A and B are shown apart, each in its own frame.
Chain A
């Protein structure tokens, strides 16, 4: 058990980060090369101003028509993405580990807040899952892989939550927590989670086309 722990919290972390960062760079680079080869037209239309205008607009809660049409989804999505991105960076447990290894640390969240955030992520995942099962328009688009992706995202938070509360089997859960976090990191570049890295490009591009070429807003 200890050796497994050592493995997932040692070499495996490195592997995960290398795959995550390397994978993201690889995806971006190969997409860039492909774009230059076959879609180089799109570069001529990229407008930093209108691209950013669109990105920021779509990162602001309720700033677009569609967000206002789906208030529940909007609230959940924003909370979900907010907690998903911030809590791993600022929970005390992570910072303590990093500080132990490299002696660097930064501001962290009060434990209870981190706890609530993890809960919210898991709750949001449950919401998404129900949506996929119940809403016909989402169900129609859903395939098994979508549930797998949801599970990949929910797992680190669920296990983290479990471990934090020291519920039965929490030591195994601790290992699973680290492992699932690593799996999620590694999955980002190679699954639909890659929308994280491509969002600025797809949004920025449509924003440029709508704003700079067609003189109209895209929200």
Chain B
């Protein structure tokens, strides 16, 4: 065993897929791939970050993993870089097949790429970027956690996250349209309507597990009298786990289809459901890999969209949501797009009582599901739940001041918070803005 492997925490690798994939690897392959990525795919950014980091540890308290593990330094942002990228560089890639498995776990499941630490490091070192480079190296070696790798495979085949087949997608939309038309006669989910004002795109889990969200969106758009469409072809999904495995090529392919679908439909913008990581993918990552400085069409997250609809008077609310709410700020649309005040505007307009959790806005703690961690599946559920005790404490504090419902305008946050609420016995409801607005708006007869 190479000695860098000995330095690793002795915990066993939890993912069978990682172990199996690593079993056919050689130390030489590991060395080659690391050096190849370091030499040919990274440049000044990585080098500057590594050379400039003064090992001061000031980023530590940014990280919920660190805080939740009683300040165990191996969970601090720079601590994770030390165990991964510093080792790779120091040993010129010679870290071996044993260590690379643990490195994959650290980068893929012990960091949410939430970028909170970038706001705490005085030098502005972007740890999330470094972790993503580690993930890419691991992905090139095939040692990515199984569940998320499978999701990335789904993206590559179906252009969506959940192996939803072409016909299942259209069928689901028609089914939701039918159901919704029973509530609101002649309601439509217009498919492939060329020249509509916007295309509505969602993430794979919506048709698969949460089809009612599409129903609700249709009702809301209908109530606001909007001219919208959804595509009947692949390209409807805006989600992206390939971004999080470091497989930029599949990320690019999936984003290309998404944007080109909107271009084909001649819509002026894309409105997307309440998802955070997908926003990062379309706004920040996928577009860049394809050569678009900004998204080629405006990407409007539901928070911004609902905010505008309410502000412009297009959505009228009959009453306010009565039970006291708190708001979880999803990293990818807050640190990723600054939508926190718009979210508070919607809360203000739609809820009777709002209880802030602390810290909040751009300083909010991640849900610990983000960055693809929840997509690494059951083997890492406890990594997430134990790694975010601090969130449970934060929620508990909000709860003791009266909050009963958590509004989390992001799918991953929902998943992550559900597990936390359950594990720590918090007994709080979790809702999307869509859930709340759907109940409150004046619907056409």
A/B touching: CB–CB < 8 A: yes
Chain A residues in the interface with B (C-beta under 8 A): 31-32, 34-35, 37-39, 41-42, 44-45, 54, 58, 64-66, 69-70, 73, 77, 135-143, 146, 192, 194-195, 198-199, 201-207, 210, 213-219
Please, how many angstroms separate the alpha-carbon atoms of A206 and B334 in the complex?
15
* Contact among A44, A69, A192, A194 with B61 in the assembled complex (CB-CB below 8 Å): A69
Please, how many angstroms separate the alpha-carbon atoms of A199 and B124 in the complex?
8
Q: List 20 A-B contacts (CB under 8 A).
A: A34-B43, A35-B43, A42-B44, A42-B45, A45-B293, A64-B122, A65-B120, A136-B73, A138-B57, A140-B57, A141-B78, A195-B53, A202-B124, A202-B125, A205-B45, A213-B284, A214-B335, A216-B334, A216-B340, A218-B119
Q: Which residue of B lies closest to A70 (CB)?
A: B58
The answer, yes or no, to whether B17 is at the interface (CB within 8 Å) is: no
Verify A192–B45 contact, CB threshold 8 A: no
Please, how many angstroms separate the alpha-carbon atoms of A207 and B126 in the complex?
11
Closest beta carbon of chain A to B331's beta carbon, Å = 11
Verify B71–A136 contact, CB threshold 8 A: yes
Known contacts A202-B52, A216-B334; A31 and B44 CB within 8 A of each other: yes
Residues of chain A contacted by B284 (CB below 8 angstroms): 213-214
A sample of 20 more A-B contacts (CB under 8 A), given A69-B61, A195-B52, A199-B123, is: A32-B44, A35-B44, A35-B45, A45-B293, A54-B124, A58-B124, A65-B119, A66-B58, A137-B76, A140-B73, A143-B55, A192-B53, A201-B48, A202-B48, A204-B124, A205-B124, A213-B284, A216-B338, A218-B118, A219-B119
Q: Which residue of A lies closest to B72 (CB)?
A: A136
B200-245 contacts to A, CB under 8 A, are none
Residues of chain A contacted by B57 (CB below 8 angstroms): 135, 137-138, 140-141
* Contact among B43, B60, B73 with A38 in the assembled complex (CB-CB below 8 Å): B43
Q: Which residue of B lies closest to A204 (CB)?
A: B124
Chain B residues in the interface with A (C-beta under 8 A): 41-45, 47-49, 51-58, 60-62, 66, 71, 73-74, 76, 78-79, 82, 118-120, 122-126, 284, 288, 293-294, 334-338, 340, 362-363
Known contacts A35-B43, A214-B335; A198 and B362 CB within 8 A of each other: no
Please, how many angstroms separate the alpha-carbon atoms of A73 and B125 in the complex?
19
Closest beta carbon of chain B to A27's beta carbon, Å = 9
Verify A141–B79 contact, CB threshold 8 A: yes
Q: Which residue of B lies closest to A128 (CB)?
A: B56
Residues of chain B contacted by A203 (CB below 8 angstroms): 122-124
Please, how many angstroms separate the alpha-carbon atoms of A54 and B122 in the complex?
10
Please, how many angstroms separate the alpha-carbon atoms of A95 and B62 in the complex?
44
If over half of A's interface residues share one DSSP class (helix, strand or loop), that class is named, otherwise mixed; here it is: helix
Please, how many angstroms separate the alpha-carbon atoms of A195 and B202 in the complex?
43
Q: Which residue of A lies closest to B66 (CB)?
A: A137
Residues of chain B contacted by A194 (CB below 8 angstroms): 51-52
Please, how many angstroms separate the alpha-carbon atoms of A219 and B51 in the complex?
22
Verify B82–A141 contact, CB threshold 8 A: yes
Closest beta carbon of chain B to A139's beta carbon, Å = 7
Residues of chain A contacted by B74 (CB below 8 angstroms): 140
Please, how many angstroms separate the alpha-carbon atoms of A37 and B47 in the complex?
13
Verify A66–B61 contact, CB threshold 8 A: yes
Please, how many angstroms separate the alpha-carbon atoms of A210 and B51 in the complex?
22
Residues of chain B contacted by A37 (CB below 8 angstroms): 43
Closest beta carbon of chain A to B69's beta carbon, Å = 11
Please, how many angstroms separate the alpha-carbon atoms of A195 and B123 in the complex?
8
Residues of chain B contacted by A69 (CB below 8 angstroms): 61
Residues of chain B contacted by A66 (CB below 8 angstroms): 58, 61-62, 119-120, 122
Please, how many angstroms separate the alpha-carbon atoms of A86 and B218 in the complex?
64
Verify B73–A141 contact, CB threshold 8 A: yes
Please, how many angstroms separate the alpha-carbon atoms of A207 and B82 in the complex?
24
Verify A192–B71 contact, CB threshold 8 A: no
Verify A31–B76 contact, CB threshold 8 A: no
Q: Which residue of A lies closest to B60 (CB)?
A: A137
Residues of chain B contacted by A143 (CB below 8 angstroms): 55
Closest beta carbon of chain B to A83's beta carbon, Å = 17
Residues of chain A contacted by B340 (CB below 8 angstroms): 216
Closest beta carbon of chain A to B362's beta carbon, Å = 5
Known contacts A38-B42, A141-B79, A216-B334; A192 and B125 CB within 8 A of each other: no
Q: Which A-B residue pairs are the 9 nearest by beta carbons?
A: A38-B43, A140-B73, A206-B124, A215-B338, A35-B44, A216-B338, A138-B57, A141-B55, A137-B57
Verify A142–B55 contact, CB threshold 8 A: yes
* Contact among B47, B48, B336 with A214 in the assembled complex (CB-CB below 8 Å): B336
Please, how many angstroms separate the alpha-carbon atoms of A143 and B49 in the complex?
17
Residues of chain A contacted by B49 (CB below 8 angstroms): 202
Please, how many angstroms separate the alpha-carbon atoms of A205 and B48 in the complex?
11
Please, how many angstroms separate the alpha-carbon atoms of A65 and B364 in the complex?
12
Q: Which residue of A lies closest to B280 (CB)?
A: A214
Please, how many angstroms separate the alpha-carbon atoms of A70 and B56 in the complex?
12
Give the interface centre of B62, B73, B124, B338 by most chain A CB atoms within 10 Å.
Answer: B124
Known contacts A35-B44, A66-B58; A137 and B338 CB within 8 A of each other: no
Known contacts A38-B43, A199-B123; A216 and B335 CB within 8 A of each other: yes
Known contacts A37-B43, A141-B82; A192 and B52 CB within 8 A of each other: yes
Verify B122–A137 contact, CB threshold 8 A: no
Known contacts A69-B61, A140-B74; A39 and B124 CB within 8 A of each other: no
Please, how many angstroms separate the alpha-carbon atoms of A91 and B44 in the complex?
37
Residues of chain B contacted by A206 (CB below 8 angstroms): 118, 124, 126
Residues of chain A contacted by B52 (CB below 8 angstroms): 192, 194-195, 198-199, 202
Known contacts A35-B43, A214-B336, A215-B337; A138 and B119 CB within 8 A of each other: no
Verify B335–A73 contact, CB threshold 8 A: no
Residues of chain B contacted by A213 (CB below 8 angstroms): 284, 294
Q: Which residue of B lies closest to A73 (CB)?
A: B58
Q: Which residue of A lies closest to B78 (CB)?
A: A141
Q: Which residue of B lies closest to A195 (CB)?
A: B52
Known contacts A194-B52, A195-B123; A39 and B118 CB within 8 A of each other: no
